[in-house]
Homo-oligomer: A and B are copies of this chain.
Amino acid sequence: MAEDTGDRRDLAALLHPLFKTLIAIERPILAEHEVSMWGYSVLTALADGPARTQATLAESIGADKTRIIDTLDELQQAGHILREPDPADRRARLLSITASGARVRRAVQAEIRVAEDRLLAELPAEDRQGFLRALEAFSSLSLDEISTR
């Protein structure tokens, strides 16, 4: 059986151009729909269900609670999210996605998907499969724990 002890460049160095390419693919699509990267991230999180506080929402997308405030302001002003004080604890803000927000998120994701598929089509089919499976496998790992071990 072949093992992976051969020569290769650092994974970060290999991944970096790919990552930059993916960001470059997303940027114009997001701009066209007038949503920021963080805004899209928030919409994606809220599409799975409402959030009870801004802090938990921030944490779920790997952001700081102070960093998403402008994002929430924008999304609210655009009518993409609801953001209302929790009657049970008026310190907290209940966050949920609106029909408009859901529509934008779906449109953005669909366009990103098309562009990504065009990129993946450059790969041999078997490598493409392996790549996607490995990404799924990684995403089910708890990378935070691993890196600080």
A interface residues with partner B (beta carbon < 8 Å): 1-2, 4, 8-26, 41, 44, 62, 109, 112-113, 116, 119-120, 122-139, 141, 143-144, 146-148
Q: Is B14 a contact of A129 with CB atoms below 8 Å? A: no
- What is the CA–CA distance of A35 and B113 in the complex, to the nearest angstrom? 38
- What is the CA–CA distance of A27 and B8 in the complex, to the nearest angstrom? 19
Number of copies of this chain in the oligomer?
2
- Which of these, B109, B127, B134, contacts A137 with CB under 8 Å? B127
- What is the CA–CA distance of A12 and B44 in the complex, to the nearest angstrom? 13
Q: Is A136 a contact of B22 with CB atoms below 8 Å? A: no
Q: Is B24 a contact of A15 with CB atoms below 8 Å? A: no
Q: Is A15 a contact of B129 with CB atoms below 8 Å? A: no
Q: Which residues of B contact A22 (CB under 8 A)?
A: 10-12, 15
Q: Is A19 a contact of B19 with CB atoms below 8 Å? A: yes
- Which of these, B128, B130, B143, contacts A126 with CB under 8 Å? B130
- What is the CA–CA distance of A137 and B19 in the complex, to the nearest angstrom? 14
Q: Is B141 a contact of A122 with CB atoms below 8 Å? A: yes
- What is the CA–CA distance of A24 and B146 in the complex, to the nearest angstrom? 10
- Which of these, B1, B123, B126, B138, contacts A123 with CB under 8 Å? B138
- What is the CA–CA distance of A31 and B11 in the complex, to the nearest angstrom? 18
Can you list 19 A-B contacts (CB < 8 A)? A4-B129, A9-B139, A10-B116, A12-B19, A12-B23, A13-B44, A15-B15, A15-B18, A17-B138, A17-B139, A18-B135, A18-B143, A21-B147, A25-B147, A122-B146, A127-B130, A130-B130, A131-B134, A131-B135
